[in-house]
A and B are shown apart, each in its own frame.
Chain A
Amino acid sequence: MVGIIGAGSLLASFLLTVMCLNQVGASGPIQSTLYHFMSIDRLSLDFGFLVDQLSVWMMMIITGVGFLIHVYSIGYMHDDEGFYKFFAYLNLFVFSMLLLVMGDNFLMLFFGWEGVGLCSYLLIGFWYTNRDYGTAARKAFIMNRVGDLGLLLGMFFIIKTFGSLAYKDVFAQLAGADPAMVTVICLLLFVGAMGKSAQIPLYTWLPDAMAGPTPVSALIHAATMVTAGVYLVTRCNGLFSMSPDAMHVVAIVGLVTAVFTAIIGLRQNDIKKVLAYSTVSQLGLMFLSLGMGAYVSAMFHVTTHAFFKALLFLSAGSVIHGMGGEQDIRNMGGLRKYMPVTFWVFLIGTFAISGFPLLSGFFSKDEIFANTYAHGGAIWWAMASVSAVLTAVYMCRLLYVTFFGEFRGTEEQRHHIHESPSVMTIPLMVLAVLSVVGGLLNTPHFMHLPGSQWMAHWLAGNGVNGTPIVPMAEVHLSASTEWSLMSFTTALALLVIVALYFVYGKVANLPVSDQKQTGFTKVVANKFYVDELYNSLFVKPTEALSKFLYQYADIQGVDGVVNGVGTGVSKLGAIFRRLQNGNIEYYLIGMVVGAALLFLTIFI
């Protein structure tokens, strides 16, 4: 029942979003101001919504993928005692996320931004009785706060520079703005995006966030919330385009994140951790694309990524469900025979993310690489290709180790294994279809397919200012260059897919346990010790400082004063206690005399 309400509300909002899509397509952006929020000096803040081509695009992803994940959750969570709570949180999340993308000013975006952060916290710590999960939730929350501070400061600078937070006011005044100021704003906004979208150096919370239930990982930590940073930058493309320095920073951070986390992903043995690092890596690619000025490509990748990463997470969830909670891929193997549907959809997801020809990831990644080559040059392109190859490697490793070979779990698990119920597999199949055909939304122009660059044209529609919301990126490459770039990356991906089959699929080439690894692989398996580094750099000194302050400032200073006041008051109270004898009559006479005295002082 709860599941029906939860998923049904999502279905309803999906249908409404489709109506919005039609209306936006027919008559342009819809803007409505619900009410005036507050006024401070000259700054006036409204509670208003703006549904334009970009917003409605995000809304389609959120409600569409969200609906599928809700349906899936009905099956996945049905045994959980927190079933009701789960759907309440999940719906709250979708609400916040929609607020984020539908707001017509930065304040509304910030409301949604904090709302999704809160829901993320609640859902990561959903099984709060486990101490580690609670810690993971807190980590995510605190790291997001760091980013949020950047966003907040960015908003303050926007107010200072433009005197308004509404998108249409800010973007209308871009021409006359101080470039240095714009750079500062962009960098601060990007810090916010870094936190939410898990970019270096604020990425470590996302792998830990896998403590939450798998549908949460799929919805929040793969498909929607983490792409809020991409949305933010895309929304502010006017600002970012004015500041080449900021763009450069975005591109570098994106590229480094993409490669770095892809390397870490190579040596993870937890099925969800691999996908988490993969998500960070893909987000890095999106930011690389943003940094190259290819906003549409980034949004395109957000879309396809939402499809295939949600698919991968959900099918991973299906595996975990079937294995009775097992997440270590070393204890799996041979699941192809036991869970055929899950295997096939996982295969499709893996191929889509690896860039198998004509699947969705193929188109969106190719666009990013073409833009990188056009705007950044061969070296940038080569680095990005490395990350793509690494992506294919760890995804195929995951696929082959999990589904091929012999089963390696316990006898008990072998009996338990079962294909998931259809309430879970049907959303998987829908997502699989989307992962296959999703790329057709924005086929490259040099292929001359019907409807080529449809999404780019859609997003380039005029916004409330009468200017394009997301201008189309101009790629000055000859068709032959584009073809050869595409062929090269595709060939690499195919090569990896086949080669890995012989390494992991054909023979039982198991990943060794973490302790036995040596040299570089050990460093990689330990995620480059980034967590430990952060621990000793930030957490330990903070703890030491707070211990010091607790010992001296708090116990001796503050507590001394507080206790002194407390003792004094209680002594004074002992004296006045006699007045309070509990008899109403004394109180009454006191009240009358008091009232009389009051009149005396006021009127006479």
Chain B
Amino acid sequence: MTLAIFTVLAVISVITALLVVFSKNPVHSVLYLIVTFFIIAAQYILLNAQFLAVVHLIVYAGAIMVLFLFVLMLLNLNQDTEPQKSSAWKLSAAVASGLLFITLIGALKGSSVAIAASPNPEVGLVKNLGNVLFNDFVVPFEIAGILFLAAMVGAVLVGKKDMAV
């Protein structure tokens, strides 16, 4: 049963990911990407990483993708203005990424993955993650906060109207 759910979700997400890349209209791309992210959130739930699933939804689907959509709309981009690459270029890109894919698969195939005998099923719960985050990773957490602040200041600064280039 679980395997079936996993497979179905995986297949759908791969298809939507491909649609992100291939759809001509940027707005459609964004929407497909949102679907992909929802499926990845579902995968997190399958992995019993509930906290991660929620954060993922809020951050990606809620914030980042909305931002993308917003920028797209702001710039008024649609199918007509969408620049396309030549087919020779697309072919070479396909070869390059295909090469990467094959190499990665080849590299991963030979590796052996050790799995814990009976892992603690509750690692992904909020209580456990909170403990780890605020005990072992306090300093990185704070630094991440500073990074956010810097990014915020940077984004505002870059977006200011009167900036000369």
A–B touch (CB < 8 A): the answer is yes
- Residue numbers of A with Cβ under 8 A of B are 585, 589, 592-593, 595-597, 599-600, 602-604
- B residues 95-119 near A (Cβ < 8 Å) are 96-97, 99-100, 103-104, 106-107, 110-111
A599–B99 Cα gap in the complex (Å)?
A: 10
Which residues on A sit within 8 Å (CB–CB) of B96?
589, 592-593, 596
- Is B100 within 8 A of A589, CB to CB? no
A73–B15 Cα gap in the complex (Å)?
A: 80
B87 to chain A, nearest CB (A): 15
- Is A599 within 8 A of B97, CB to CB? no
B81 to chain A, nearest CB (A): 19
- Is B110 within 8 A of A604, CB to CB? yes
- Is B107 within 8 A of A603, CB to CB? yes
Number of interface residues of B (CB under 8 A): 13
Contact with A along B76-98 (1 / 0, CB 8 A): 00000000000001001100110
Q: What is the chain A residue whose CB lies nearest that of B92?
A: A589
- Is B103 within 8 A of A604, CB to CB? yes
- Is B99 within 8 A of A596, CB to CB? yes
B55 to chain A, nearest CB (A): 29
- Is B106 within 8 A of A603, CB to CB? yes
- Is B103 within 8 A of A599, CB to CB? yes
- Is B103 within 8 A of A596, CB to CB? yes
B110 to chain A, nearest CB (A): 7
- Is A592 within 8 A of B106, CB to CB? no
A90–B25 Cα gap in the complex (Å)?
A: 69
Other-chain contact of A589, B93, B106, B110, B111 (Cβ < 8 Å)? B93
Which residues on A sit within 8 Å (CB–CB) of B93?
589
What are 11 A-B contacts defined by CB distance under 8 Å?
Answer: A589-B92, A589-B93, A592-B99, A593-B99, A595-B100, A596-B104, A599-B103, A600-B103, A603-B107, A603-B110, A603-B111
- Is A596 within 8 A of B100, CB to CB? yes
Q: What is the chain B residue whose CB lies nearest that of A595?
A: B100
Which residues on A sit within 8 Å (CB–CB) of B92?
589
A334 to chain B, nearest CB (A): 67
A596–B131 Cα gap in the complex (Å)?
A: 38
Which residues on B sit within 8 Å (CB–CB) of A596?
96, 99-100, 103-104
Q: What is the chain A residue whose CB lies nearest that of B85?
A: A585
A597–B89 Cα gap in the complex (Å)?
A: 20
Other-chain contact of A592, B89, B97, B107 (Cβ < 8 Å)? B97
Q: Which of B96, B110, B111 has the most CB of A within 10 A?
A: B96
Which residues on A sit within 8 Å (CB–CB) of B106?
600, 603-604
A603–B109 Cα gap in the complex (Å)?
A: 10
Q: What is the chain B residue whose CB lies nearest that of A604?
A: B106
Q: What is the chain A residue whose CB lies nearest that of B95?
A: A593
Q: What is the chain A residue whose CB lies nearest that of B106?
A: A604
A589–B93 Cα gap in the complex (Å)?
A: 7
